[in-house]
Structure 1
Amino acid sequence: MSFNRREFFKLLAAGAGATVMPGVSLAAGKGDSSVLYANVVPEPAGWVAGLNISNPAVIVSANLFDGLITFDNDYKPVPQLASSWEESADHKTITFHLRDGVTWHDGKPFTSADVAYSLLEVTKKLHPRGNATFGSLDAVLTPDAHTAVLKFSQPAPAVWAALGGFETQILPKHIYQGSAPLTHPINSRPVGNGPFIFKEWVRGSHVTLERNPNYWDKNNQPHLQTIIFRIIPDAGARLAALESGELLYAPTDAVPLPDLVRLRKDPRFVVTSQPYAGLAPIGFFDFNLRRKTFQDVRVRRAFAHAINRDLLVKTVWYGLAKAATGPIASHQKQFYTPNTPQYEYNPAKAEQLLDAAGYKRGADGVRLRINNLPLPFGNQYVLTAEFIRAQLKRIGVELTLIPNDLPTYNRRAYLDYDFDTTTSWYSAFSDPQLGVIRRYWTEAIKPGTVSSNSTGYSTPEMDNVIKGIRFEADAAKRKTFIEQLQVIAQRDVPSVNLLEIQLYSIYSSRLAGVSKSPFGAYDSLAGVTIKS
C-alpha cells in the first residue's frame, strides 16, 4: 500500500469539514456538575437492550435497568436485583431470592413474574444470544413474588456469564405481556427499575435521563441529576465537543483513531480500553452463503488470502487492534487455541483458488462484482471496507460499498439478507457461548434478530460441536468443544476473522466514579460525579 493511500485513510478518518447536526446544541449546560453530557453513536431503533443489543442501546439502557446480578473485576457474580441464590449440584436448578421494595419507574412492584416472563418470552425467544444460553431453560417457577426458580433440562454452564443486566434484561411483564415485544412502542421510552428514569428521546438530537428518586439501592444512589446522551453523527463535531468540554463522556466510537492516539496524551482526558475487556470484540468480513458464489469454500478462502490483516492493523487501525487468528480473542486464554487453519496474505494463492473455482478474469480484468455493507458504527468500519476493497481489486474482485444508517443496515443484514458481504464486529464476551456460537449456529439464523447468524452458515458438524459447548458441564471437556469450533470456523470460512478489536472510552479527567469493571461501559453511571 502506498504512502498516498495511507494519507487518504488519515484524511477520511480525520473528518475534515465536520458540521454539527441540526438540533444538537453544544453550548448548553457547560459547568453544571449535576448534568452529564455524553455521546452515543449511531442512533439505534430503540433503547431496550434486552431487545436491541447494539452498543448505543446497551450503554443507555444500562442506566435504566438493573440485572439479576452484576460482576466484580474478576468476572464473579455479585448480587443486584437478586440478593442471593442457590444452584443445585446437577446445575439444572438455580433459585434466585429477589429484593423486596424494588419498583418499576411507573411505580409498579418488581416481582418474580417479571423474571419468568422476561427469560421465557423475551430472552429465550427474541434475544440474538438468548436461545444459545437459555435454550435448555424449561420453566421459571414463581412460588412467591420474591422467589424465581430456574429449571433447566440440561446444565447451562454459560448462564452465569449471561445474567448481567447488559445481556439478560428483566422487563416489566405488566407492560409487555400480550404484545409483540420487538415492536412495542415502549421501546422508544423504556420503563425500567434502575438508577435513572427515561425522560425523552428527540430523534436525531439527544436522549435525556433523570435521576430516579425511588431507586432501591440506598447505598448507591445516583449522584447526577440528569444525563443527556447527545446523538452527534459527525466525528469532527464529536471531537470538537470533547475538546471544548461540552461533552464529558464518550463511551464508544467517538473519534477517529488518529485523534484517539493524540487524546491519549492529553491530560484533560482519560482514554481507556479497560471498560471493554469483558466484551472481547472480534472484527470480521461476512459472506452471504445464500449467494451461489460464496457456497464454494475456495472463493471464501481466496478472500481470506487476499486481505493483509497486519497491514490493516497498521494503516487503518493505527496499531490499536491485533490480527485475529479465529473467532475468539487470544487474550481469552481459557478458551483460545492458536491451532487453527490460517490464511497468510498471498494474493497469488487467492487468484489460483478463484481460477480453480471457475471465476477467471474477464477482458476488463474483473472476476466478480459484489457489494459490501459496512457497519455504521463510526467511520472505522467504512475505512476497513475501503481497505478490503483495495485489496480485493488486486485479485480481480470489484467490491462496491453500500453505506446505510443503523436501522437500514440491520434490516438488510438481518431481516432481508440483502447483501453479498458485510464488514462488522461482534463481542465474544467472557464466555464464547454468549457471543461466538451465534455466528455459526443453525438455530441463530433468525430473520429480524440483529447480531445473529446473518451468513446462513449451517452444518451438522458445527451444530453438534455447539451442542457440546452449551451442555457439557465438565470444564475440560467443554474446552475441547470450544477448540473444535475455532478449527471448523477457520476451515469453513463462512466469515473472515480479521481483527481483535480494542474499543475505547474517552471521558474528561473531571469525572470521578466511572466504572472500572470489565464491563464498565455497560455499567450504569450512578456512581459518577463531576468535579468543578
Structure 2
Amino acid sequence: MTSAMISTSRAWVRNAVLGLALAVSGAGVAEAAKTSLVLGMAVEPAGLDPTVAAPVAIGQVTWQNIFEGLVTIDRDGKIQPQLARSWDISADGLTYTFKLQTGVKFHDGEAFDAAVAKAAIERARGADSVNPQKRYFATIASVEAPDAETLVLKLSKPTGSLLYWLGWPSSSIVGTRSAADNKTTPVGTGPFKFKSWAKGDKVELVRNPDYWNKDKAAKLETATFRFIADPQAQAAALKSGDVDSFPEFGAPELIADLEKDAKLSVVIGNTELKVVAGMNNARKPFDDQRVRQALMMAVDRAAVVEGAWSGFGTPIGSHYTPNDPGYVDLTGVHAYDVDKAKALLKEAGYPNGFTFTIKAPQMQYAQRSSQILQALFAEIGVTMNIETTEFPAKWVSDVFKGGDYDMTIVAHAEPMDIDIYARDPYYFHYKNPAFNDVLAKVQATSDAAEQAKLYGEAQTILANDVPALYLFVMPKLGVWNAKVKGLWANEPIPSNVLNEVQWED
C-alpha cells in the first residue's frame, strides 16, 4: 500500500468515525424528550387555595398537582385512595375509619399525620370556615385521631356522598403551618411544588423531588400555567408553540382549522359543564312558574348549541349530565314551542311580554348564548337586555353573593351538583321542600341503584319547575402538541392533573 493510499485510508476512517459520532450525537438530541410543559387557561384564578374559594380555576391549577386529599377522583371519575391508604365504614354508615399513608411530608417539611388531617377537616367544618363546600362536612359530628396513622370521622347521620366529596379540591388536606398563606403561596403534599405567580400572566410549578408516592411521581420537571383569555390568541399560541396545550380551548369554531395542523392533537371529551341560564326565583316575574316554563319553551336548544358553541354540546332538560348515574333525557318536558310559550305568558298575565336584563359573564359561550336567547325571547314578545358582567369577581359579588339580578348565565362545573337547588341560600332563590326531601334520601343511602333512581326523580322535578333554563353540556375541547401524552381526555372533575404527563420521544 502506498503512502498516498494509507493517507487516504486514514482520512476515510477518521471521517467515518467523526460522522458516526455526529450521527449518535444528533440522534441523542432528537430523542431527548422535553421535561417542561406550558399549559393554557382562559381564566386566571383569584387565589391558589381551593379550600377557601369556589372558582374552579383554582383547582385546575393546584388540585392533584400541589394539593391532595384523603381520597382522590381518577380520570374515570372513580374514588381512589390517596393520603388515606384504606378506609372502613361502619354498618350504620356513621363511622368512617381511615388508615393513613406514612412518610408523607408537605413541601415545607411539615410531616403529615392524623393530627394534621384532623386539623384540616376541623378547619373546613368549623364555625369560622370559609370553605366553598362547607356543607360537605356538615354531617361530621366529630373528628378523632387515636394514633398517627388513624383518622376517625363520626357522623350525625348517614351521608352517601361523603367519600366522593372528600376527593374534591375543597377537601384538600392542608398543613397546619402553611394553611394561612396558601392563597398566594400554596404548600401541599403533591407531586409539584409552587414556584411563582406573575399575576396576569402565569403560575409556575416545579417537580417535587421528595414526593411520597414514587409510583406516581411527576415526569415533568416544570409546569407553567399561562392565562390567555382571547380564543384567537389561544389558537395563535398553540400554533406557534408558545403554549403546549389548551385542555379547555375556548373557540369551537376554530377546531376544524386546528385539526388540520399535524403538530397538534384535538381531543374532544366530556365534562360536567352545564350551561344554565339561572333565574332569580324571588323576583317578579320569575317567581311565577308559568313564566319560567314559557321562557323554557321559547328556547330552541339545538339553535343555542349551534350558535353558541358551533354544534359542540349536548342539550339537557335538567341540571344533570349524561355522564352521571341516573341521567334522564328531559329535553322534551318543555320542548321548543313558540305558540305554547305565548299562551302560557298570556295566562300568567303577560300577554305583551315583559322586559328584563341578563347579567352575562364575558366568556364567549355566555355572550353568544345570551345573544341567541335574546333573539328567541323576542319571538314571544319578551325583551332581554344583555349586561356584560366581569367574571369571576363582579359576577360573584353581584349575582352569586348579592343576588342582584334577573337572569344570568354560567357553566356550572361542579360534578353532581344538582343539590345546589336545595341549598339555602343560593343565588337561584329556589325553594321546593319536595325536591329537598329527594336529595336528603340520596344521602341516606349508599345503594348506587337507589341513588340513581332518586337522582332521576330530582331531575324530573327541576325539569317541570324550571328554576333555571337548562341549555347544554359543553364538551372538553382539548388541543395540545401531538407529542404530549397523559393529559385527561375527559373531565369528571375540573382539573389539569399533570403527574402522568410527559413528552413522547
* TM category, shorter: 0.7 to 0.9
1:234 to partner: Cα distance? 1.6
- Contact 2:158–2:444 (8 Å) recurs in 1: yes
Q: Does 1:387 align with 2:379?
A: no
Partner residue of 1:345 out of 336, 345, 358: 336
- The one-letter code of the counterpart of 2:204 is T
Q: What is the rounded CA distance, in whole Å, between the counterparts of 2:54 and 2:423 in structure 1?
A: 20
Aligned partner of 1:118 in structure 2 is: 120
Alpha-carbon distance between aligned partners in 1 of 2:81 and 2:323, rounded to the nearest angstrom:
27
Q: Does residue 1:401 correspond to 2:383, yes or no? A: no
> Which portions of structure 1, spanning 4 or more consecutive aligned residues, are displaced by more than 6 angstroms?
none
Shift of 1:113: 2.8
2:422 pairs with 1:441:
yes
Partner amino acid for 1:284?
V
* 1:372–1:419 contact (8 Å) kept in structure 2: yes
Contact (CA 8 Å) 1:341, 1:491: kept in 2 or not?
A: no
Alignment match of 1:480 (pick from 445, 453, 456) = 453
Please give the secondary structure, in 1, of the residue aligned with 2:86: strand
Change (3 A) 1:251 1:294: same
- Give, in whole Å, the separation in 1 of the partners of 2:467 and 2:218: 45
Residues 272 and 167 of structure 1: is their aligned pair in 2 closer, same or farther, counting only changes over 3 Å? farther
Unaligned runs of 5+ in 1: 1-30, 177-183, 362-366, 446-452
Find the aligned partners of 1:265 and 1:442 in 2 and give their Cα distance: 46
Aligned to 1:264: 259
**Higher mean Cα deviation, 37-46 or 258-267?**
258-267
State the alpha-carbon separation in 2 of the partners of residues 428 and 416 from structure 1. Answer: 21
Q: The residue matched to 2:50 in structure 1 has which SS?
A: coil
User: Which residue among 219, 239, 252 is the counterpart of 1:243?
Assistant: 239
> Does the 8 Å contact 2:187/2:193 carry over to 1?
yes
1:413 paired residue number: 399
Alignment of 1:110-509 (within 5 A): 110-122=112-124, 126-131=130-135, 133-166=136-169, 168-176=171-179, 186-252=182-248, 254-274=249-269, 277=270, 279-332=271-324, 334-338=325-329, 342-361=333-352, 367-376=353-362, 378-403=363-388, 404-427=390-413, 429=415, 432=416, 435-438=417-420, 440-443=421-424, 445=425, 453-509=426-482
TM-score by structure 2 length? Answer: 0.86
Counterpart Cα distance in 1 of 2:242 and 2:59: 23
Q: Secondary structure at the match of 2:182?
A: helix
Supply the AA of the counterpart residue of 1:260.
Answer: I
In the alignment, which residue of structure 1 is the partner of 2:67?
65
The 2-side partners of 1:289 and 1:273 are apart by 35
Deviation at 1:307, TM superposition (A): 0.9
- Provide the C-alpha distance between the structure 1 equivalents of 2:490 and 2:303, rounded to a whole number of angstroms: 32
Return the alpha-carbon distance in structure 2 between the equivalents of residues 518 and 45 of structure 1. 22
SS of corresponding position for 2:282: coil
1:328–1:428 Cα contact (<8 Å) kept: no
Q: Report % sequence identity.
A: 28
- Work out whether 1:512 is the aligned partner of 2:485: yes
Asked if the contact 1:44/1:407 (under 8 Å) is kept, the reply is no
RMSD: 2.5
**Structure 2 unmatched ranges of 5 or more:** 1-31
Distance between the aligned counterparts of 1:529 and 1:473, measured in 2?
A: 38
Aligned equivalents of 1:341 and 1:114: distance in 2?
50
- Preserved CA contact (<8 Å) 2:116 2:175: yes
Alpha carbons of structure 1 residues 160 and 191: separation in structure 2 relative to 1, 3 Å = same
Q: In structure 1, what is the equivalent of residue 91 of structure 2?
A: 89
What is the CA distance between 1:89 and its match in structure 2? 2.5
- Give yes or no for contact 1:68–1:165 (8 Å, CA) kept in 2: no
Distance 1:369 1:518, change over 3 A: closer
Are the structure 2 counterparts of residues 481 and 271 from structure 1 closer, same or farther at C-alpha, using a change threshold of 3 Å?
A: same
In 2, the alpha carbon distance for the partners of 1:77 and 1:96 equals 14
CA contact (8 A) 1:340 1:487 kept: no
Task: State the TM-score, normalizing by the size of structure 1.
Answer: 0.82
Q: Aligned pair in 2 of structure 1 residues 262, 58: CA closer, same or farther (>3 Å)?
A: same
Residue 18 of structure 2 corresponds to none
Mapped to 1, the partners of 2:181 and 2:72 lie a distance apart of 28
Q: Check if 1:526 corresponds to 2:499.
A: yes
Partner of 2:45: 44
Q: Which amino acid is 1:498 matched to?
A: L
Superimposed CA distance per residue, residues 46-100 of structure 1 (whole angstroms, 9 cap, x where no aligned partner)? 1222333433211101211122223456544332211222222232222111112
Contact 1:71 1:517 in 2 (8 A): no
489-498 vs 512-521, greater mean Cα deviation: 512-521
Aligned residue in 1 for 2:6: none
Q: Can you list the C-alpha shifts for 1:338-361, whole angstroms capped at 9, x where unaligned?
A: 468711112222222222222232
The farther-off stretch of 454-463 and 338-347 is: 338-347
Secondary structure of the corresponding residue to residue 458 of structure 2: helix
The 3-state SS of whatever aligns with 2:349 is: coil
Partners of 2:200 and 2:422 lie apart in 1 by 35
Q: Distance in 1 between matches of 2:66 and 2:207?
A: 10
Q: Which amino acid aligns with 2:471?
A: L
Aligned length: 470
Cα distance between partner residues in 1 of 2:488 and 2:380: 47
CA drift at 1:402: 2.0
Tell me the SS of whatever aligns to 1:291: coil
